[in-house]
A and B are shown apart, each in its own frame.
Chain A
Amino acid sequence: MSKEHQKYLKKRKIIDILIRIIQIIIVLIIIAIWQYAADKNYINTFISSSPKNILKTIISLYKNKTLFSHIWITLYEVIISFTIGEIIGITTAAFLWRFNFIYKILDPYLTILNSMPKVSLGPIIIILAGASTKSIIIMALFISVIITTINTHQAFKETDQNKIRLMQSFKATKSQIFFKLILPSNYNNLINTAKVNIGLVFIGVTMGEFLVSKAGIGYLIMYGSQVFDLNLVMTGIILLITLAALMHYIITFIEKNIEFKT
């Protein structure tokens, strides 16, 4: 490696680190201002809480041994819903890609279902499936599966026609075309759809926990608002943000480190 190239790499690395540091500083500044404003009574801590209060709430949740159980319950529901959502979404998309005629028939229904506010189905789901984890997962699936299907199918459909013709010139079967071309060529699209999916699943699970009101971070937020403990509400929101960020990073990590192998 030449000296010049080393210099170039070093410069890039320094810029990357600098960006990270600034990002962290911004968060710290926000927290500091928030705390400062709370200490000086510029803001009403009863409504907007404060970093210290949030920390105290987390510690007390930890002490009465409910912190991790709530986090775990939400995480569990998110992971299950996400996984089932991906499986159903991709399978349905593959099916619709294979049978375009059926897709054309179903297209308007999918569009309508997609634009419907799915949260409105909540009460019905709870009546049908009971006030349980099952309802929460169903809720999350309703919110995420349709858009996952639509986006994935769209990506499948836009696969380069010439590459499909190439496969056909080798007399490839539909399933060979799917597994050797459609799936691997849409790897990036699948990752992007997964990112959208994870966001929607979080919305679904939180809504579900609001409605079912038994456990999980959504429940903490709901409970907090009912007893006017806004510290608890803020804590719940912060926990959700942290979890969502974590899941996002996991997917990005997978994207960067796992190449598609056929």
Chain B
Amino acid sequence: MNILKIKNLKKTYHTKESEFLAVDNFSFNLKEGEFVAIVGPSGCGKSTILSILCGLDKPSKGQIIYNKKLDFGYMLQSDNLFDWLNVYKNCILGLEIKKRKNKKYVEKLLKTYGLWEFKDTYPRNLSGGMRQRVSLIRTLATNPDILLLDEPFSALDYQTRLAVSEDVYKIIKKENKSAIMVTHDIGEAISMADRIIVLTDKPSTIKNIYEINLINKSTPIENRKDKKFSYYYDLLWKDIDCHV
């Protein structure tokens, strides 16, 4: 079942100096429980698409149809932690805004991500990877229906990146949430996503959508060992033209 239908989305940014077509003719449907990855050249309009989906920006044209009232969890590209709040207070920001009381889940997440002993620490004393995990917990804390993740693991080192993406994947699948994730990492996209949308450069239009059908679909780390993994890797690699 589709929980989100996007039809002919178009976004033009208007500034005093010029107008800029960031996204054009973008249509796709998100199924319930589906994990979609978006890859594309840098600056093409990926973040713009996520902002429009969760209602922060208005599309210039096009329609987004939600099948019910959806609660979006948007993890922005930069961590945006508040320097004046400690880790714990940062994590419960969304809960406080929504005036929700249940903090148990946050505590559990802090423990799972090895941040429990840092709950009273202030962000300036955290490493880049820890900051990103705090930002992720803050997003998960409100228990949203759809997760919009904008390069969620970019600040993590390779090891942590694999481990955290494994965890996030499990959480998303366990709670049957849908997710749209922007990433630059082809391997990450293949190992996590059910479908991968490849975008063109300025404006972002859909170049290709790949259905990822691995032989033994499992968790991200296992998926990387799948026989068809490298097949998809080559396919995508050739499709994303990167002119260095």
Residues of A within 8 A of B (CB): 160, 162-163, 165-172, 176, 180-181, 184-185, 187, 259-260, 262
CB contacts (< 8 Å) of B82 on chain A: these are 163, 181, 184-185
Mask for B79-117, Cβ within 8 A of A = 1, else 0? 010111100010001101110000000000000000000
**Is A169 in contact with B56, judged by CB distance below 8 angstroms?**
yes
What CA separation (Å) do A177 and B28 show in the bound complex? 33
Interface set, chain B 30-78, CB cutoff 8 A to A: 51, 54, 56, 72-74, 76, 78
What CA separation (Å) do A260 and B84 show in the bound complex? 7
What is the CB-to-nearest-CB distance from A169 to chain B, in angstroms, rounded to a whole number?
4
Pull 20 A–B residue pairs with CB atoms less than 8 Å apart, ordered by A: A160-B80, A162-B78, A162-B80, A163-B82, A165-B51, A166-B74, A167-B97, A169-B73, A170-B93, A170-B94, A170-B97, A170-B98, A170-B142, A171-B98, A172-B97, A176-B97, A180-B93, A184-B82, A260-B84, A262-B85
CB contacts (< 8 Å) of B85 on chain A: these are 262
**Is B84 in contact with A187, judged by CB distance below 8 angstroms?**
yes
CB contacts (< 8 Å) of A162 on chain B: these are 76, 78, 80
CB contacts (< 8 Å) of B93 on chain A: these are 170, 180
**Is B84 in contact with A180, judged by CB distance below 8 angstroms?**
no
CB contacts (< 8 Å) of A170 on chain B: these are 93-94, 97-98, 142
Chain B residue at smallest Cβ distance from A181: B82
What CA separation (Å) do A187 and B74 show in the bound complex? 27
What CA separation (Å) do A171 and B74 show in the bound complex? 11
**Is B80 in contact with A180, judged by CB distance below 8 angstroms?**
no
What CA separation (Å) do A73 and B134 show in the bound complex? 52
**Is A169 in contact with B72, judged by CB distance below 8 angstroms?**
yes
Interface-central residue, A168, A170, A187, by most chain B CB under 10 Å = A170
Chain A residue at smallest Cβ distance from B122: A259
CB contacts (< 8 Å) of B76 on chain A: these are 162, 165-166, 169
What CA separation (Å) do A93 and B189 show in the bound complex? 46
CB contacts (< 8 Å) of A185 on chain B: these are 82-84
What CA separation (Å) do A170 and B75 show in the bound complex? 11
CB contacts (< 8 Å) of B83 on chain A: these are 185
What CA separation (Å) do A168 and B80 show in the bound complex? 13
Interface-central residue, A165, A169, A259, A262, by most chain B CB under 10 Å = A169
**Is A171 in contact with B97, judged by CB distance below 8 angstroms?**
yes
What CA separation (Å) do A22 and B88 show in the bound complex? 45
**Is A165 in contact with B56, judged by CB distance below 8 angstroms?**
yes
What CA separation (Å) do A246 and B38 show in the bound complex? 59
What CA separation (Å) do A187 and B83 show in the bound complex? 11
What CA separation (Å) do A176 and B97 show in the bound complex? 7
Known: A162-B78, A170-B142. 14 other contacts (CB 8 A): A162-B80, A163-B80, A163-B82, A166-B74, A168-B56, A169-B72, A169-B74, A170-B94, A171-B97, A180-B93, A180-B96, A181-B82, A185-B82, A262-B84
CB contacts (< 8 Å) of B94 on chain A: these are 170
CB contacts (< 8 Å) of A167 on chain B: these are 97
- A-B residue pairs, 5 tightest by C-beta: A169-B74, A170-B97, A170-B94, A166-B80, A172-B97
What CA separation (Å) do A176 and B72 show in the bound complex? 19
What CA separation (Å) do A31 and B96 show in the bound complex? 58
What CA separation (Å) do A165 and B75 show in the bound complex? 11
What CA separation (Å) do A10 and B83 show in the bound complex? 30
What is the CB-to-nearest-CB distance from A70 to chain B, in angstroms, rounded to a whole number?
41
What is the CB-to-nearest-CB distance from B204 to chain A, in angstroms, rounded to a whole number?
19
What CA separation (Å) do A123 and B84 show in the bound complex? 46
What CA separation (Å) do A162 and B47 show in the bound complex? 12
What CA separation (Å) do A146 and B130 show in the bound complex? 43
What CA separation (Å) do A166 and B85 show in the bound complex? 15
What CA separation (Å) do A185 and B72 show in the bound complex? 25
**Is B54 in contact with A169, judged by CB distance below 8 angstroms?**
yes
Chain A residue at smallest Cβ distance from B135: A166
Interface-central residue, A160, A260, A262, by most chain B CB under 10 Å = A262
**Is A259 in contact with B56, judged by CB distance below 8 angstroms?**
no
CB contacts (< 8 Å) of A181 on chain B: these are 82
What CA separation (Å) do A165 and B76 show in the bound complex? 9
The 8 Å CB contact of B84, one of A168, A171, A172, A259, is A259
CB contacts (< 8 Å) of A180 on chain B: these are 93, 96-97
